[in-house]
């Protein structure tokens, strides 16, 4: 039994010798240019390299999805963004008096901010209350004024001419394309009657219901106070959010935004004050009822970008249709408001507002269309300031300076 086991061990090859022989065969095959079976892939797919994912397309798709998500966020969280941006605008406007109180009086910044915000709210409430008392009788007469407008001679004449033109066009259409004998007469189209709250609803579209409007307006004074009182800590913390090498750029962006917004708000306030005073005087001279209320409303609406002229003419035209018996005061009113708006748009706005904002007309129009679509009337108010802030950011970041140049004049 022992002899047989020894014979089996002698017949088995040495593992080291077998490995050496295989290595020599591989070297010989490599020198002769013949592929060994180990080098030939077992299948046709193992030796092929699959192409990697296209990172450019993935990044573009992710950017597009992020933009759509941000637009959806602007729409569904409109009340939050409108409240926040409005508070920031008011904080920029009230920063000069707060700084003046801190410099010229021993008051600390928290106390000076509280005094300025309280005085601003009190003055604003006084203006609204005084305007409401004068406009209360006007609001009570709105149904009678609407009925007078419908029965006014000028409106009746225009309506009759429109009906005549419609009849002539319909008759010409029947002669060109005669109706079928079995055609049934079409029912009259339904008349849509809109209530008086439709204009206010479209103006405050992003804020929702009346409770949402009151909720937003109640938060704005507190946000303004906190932004003014914590100006230095907020600025420092905003800079500390970024790496050390970018903090100087962030500080420059914040300084440019503050300077630009201050010029924008102060310029628009001066223009609105000038237009309101001039329009009140014109309405008083032509004999228009409620000249103070209608003049302030017309002058304030005149500063709305690109829509200022039709909005400024609307109060005077509506009340003038039922107040003037002849066409001369009506023509004087329209011409005067138009001249004031042209003077403000071509001379006052470029000097008081244009130098601080520095946006071209195309970019401004697109911003108004976009934010007006998202937020309604409030978007028309906040669209230009938001775009101006974005331009300040683009101008100071090297990778986006071309976008800033595109948005500029």
SS3 labels along the chain: CHHHHHHHHHHCCCHHHHHHHHHHHHHHHHHHCCCCCCCCCCCCCCCCCCCCCCHHHHHHHHHHHHHHHHHHHHHHCHHHHHHHHHHHHHHHHHHHHHHHHHHHCCCCHHHHHHHHHHHHHHHHHHHHHHHHHHHHHHHHCHHHHHHHHHHCHHHHHHHHHHHHHHHHHHHHHHHHCCCCCCCCCCCCCCCCCCCCHHHHHHHCHHHCCHHHHHHHHHHHHHHHHHHHHCHHHHHHHHHHCCCHHHHHHHHHHHHHHHHHHHHHHHHHHHHHHHHHHHHHHHHHHHCCCCHHHHHHHHHHHCCCCCCHHHHHHHHHHHHHHHHCCCCHHHHHHHHHHHHHHHHHHHHHHHHHHHHHHCCCHHHHHHHHHHHHHHHCHHHHHHHHHHHHHHHHHHHHCHHHHHHHHHHCC
Whether the predicted pLDDT of 58 surpasses 80 = yes
246: confidence class by pLDDT, cuts 50, 70, 90 = confident
Stretch 32-60: mean pLDDT, rounded? 58
For helices 142-151 and 153-176, the axis angle rounded to 10 degrees is 50
User: Of the given ranges (23-37, 45-59, 83-97, 181-195), which has the lowest mean pLDDT?
Assistant: 181-195
Of 208-217, 316-325, 340-349, where does mean pLDDT reach its minimum? 208-217
Q: What is the pLDDT of residue 115?
A: 92
CB-CB contact of 306 with 368 (8 Å): yes
97 CB burial (10 A radius; 0-12, 13-18, 19+): middle
- d(CA 401, CA 394) in angstroms, rounded, equals 5
CA angle in degrees (0–180, nearest 5) for 358-362-65: 105
pLDDT for the residue 22: 57
Q: State yes or no: pLDDT of 8 exceeds 50.
A: no
pLDDT in tens, 63-89: 889 888 888 888 888 888 888 888 888
Mean pLDDT score across all residues of the chain: 75
Say if residue 191's pLDDT is above 60: no
How far apart are alpha carbons 366 and 311 in whole angstroms?
19
- Residues 96-148: pLDDT tens digits? 888 888 888 888 888 989 999 999 888 888 877 766 666 566 666 666 666 66
Whole-number Å distance between alpha carbons of 340 and 38: 91
pLDDT: is 251 or 168 the higher one? Answer: 251
Q: Model confidence over 252-310: pLDDT tens digits?
A: 888 888 888 888 888 888 888 888 899 989 888 888 877 887 888 888 888 877 777 88
At residue 385, does pLDDT exceed 80?
Answer: yes
Q: What is the pLDDT of residue 88?
A: 87
Residue with tokens 């637009």: 71
Rg (the chain; Cα; Å): 37
Q: Are 81 and 389 in contact (CB under 8 A)?
A: no
Token look-up 């630009």 returns 260
Among the listed residues 275, 338, 344, 345, the one whose alpha carbon sits nearest the alpha carbon of residue 309: 338
**Confidence at residue 49, expressed as pLDDT on a 0 to 100 scale:** 63
Beta-carbon neighbour count of residue 91 at 10 Å? Answer: 24
Single pTM value for the model:
0.64
Q: Which residue has the higher pLDDT, 242 or 199?
A: 242
Mean pLDDT is lowest, of 37-46, 155-164, 350-359, for: 37-46
Mean pLDDT confidence for 140-160: 63
Of the chain, the percentage scoring pLDDT greater than 90 comes to 1
pLDDT value at residue 196: 43
Is residue 3 predicted with pLDDT exceeding 80?
no
CA distances from 360 to 329, 387, 404 (A): 37, 11, 11
Q: Give residue 331's pLDDT.
A: 83
pLDDT for the residue 129? 73
- The whole-number pLDDT of residue 195 equals 45
pLDDT per position as a tens digit, 306-336: 777 888 888 888 777 766 666 677 788 888 8
Lowest mean pLDDT among 4-8, 49-53, 404-408: 4-8
The rounded distance, in Å, linking the Cα atoms of 392 and 258 is 10
Q: How many CB atoms lie within 10 A of CB 117?
A: 24
How far, in whole angstroms, is CA 175 from its chain's centroid? 50
pLDDT of residue 211: 59
Could you write out the three-class secondary structure of 107-125?
A: CCHHHHHHHHHHHHHHHHH
Does 398 score more than 60 pLDDT? yes
């Amino acid at each position: 039994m022992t002899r047989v086991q020894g014979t089996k061990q002698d017949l088995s090859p040495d593992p080291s010798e077998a490995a050496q022989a295989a290595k020599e065969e591989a070297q010989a095959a490599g020198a002769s240019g013949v592929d060994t079976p180990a080098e030939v892939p077992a299948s046709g797919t193992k030796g092929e390299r699959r192409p990697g994912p296209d990172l450019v397309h993935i990044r573009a798709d992710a950017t597009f999805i992020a933009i759509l998500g941000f637009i959806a966020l602007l729409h569904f969280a409109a009340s939050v963004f409108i409240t926040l941006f409005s508070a920031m605008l008011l904080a920029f406007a009230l920063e000069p008096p707060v700084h003046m109180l801190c410099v010229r009086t021993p008051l600390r910044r928290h106390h000076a901010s509280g005094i300025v915000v309280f005085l601003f709210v009190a003055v604003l409430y006084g203006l609204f209350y005084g305007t409401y008392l004068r406009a209360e009788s006007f609001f009570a007469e709105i149904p009678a004024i609407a009925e007078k407008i419908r029965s006014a001679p000028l409106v009746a004449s225009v309506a009759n001419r429109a009906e005549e033109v419609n009849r002539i066009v319909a008759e010409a259409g029947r002669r060109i394309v005669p109706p079928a004998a079995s055609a049934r007469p079409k029912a009259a189209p339904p008349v849509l009657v809109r209530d008086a709250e439709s204009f206010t609803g479209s103006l405050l579209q992003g804020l929702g219901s009346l409770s949402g409007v009151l909720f937003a307006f109640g938060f704005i004074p507190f946000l303004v106070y906190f932004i003014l009182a914590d100006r230095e800590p907020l600025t420092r913390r905003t800079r500390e959010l970024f790496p050390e090498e970018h903090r100087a750029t962030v500080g420059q962006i914040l300084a440019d935004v503050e300077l630009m917004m201050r010029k924008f708000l102060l310029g628009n306030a001066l223009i609105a004050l000038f237009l309101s005073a001039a329009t009140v005087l014109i309405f008083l001279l032509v004999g228009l009822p409620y000249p103070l209320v209608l003049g302030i409303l017309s002058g304030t609406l005149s500063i709305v970008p690109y829509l200022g002229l039709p909005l400024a003419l609307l109060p005077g035209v509506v009340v003038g249709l039922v107040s003037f018996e002849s066409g001369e005061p009506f023509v004087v009113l329209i011409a005067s408001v138009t001249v004031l708006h042209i003077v403000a748009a071509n001379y006052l706005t470029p000097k008081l507002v244009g130098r601080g904002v520095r946006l071209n007309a195309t970019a401004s129009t697109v911003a108004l269309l976009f934010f007006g679509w998202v937020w309604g009337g409030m978007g028309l108010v906040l669209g230009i300031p938001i775009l101006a802030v974005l331009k300040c950011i683009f101008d100071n970041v090297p990778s986006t300076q071309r976008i800033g140049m595109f948005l500029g004049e």
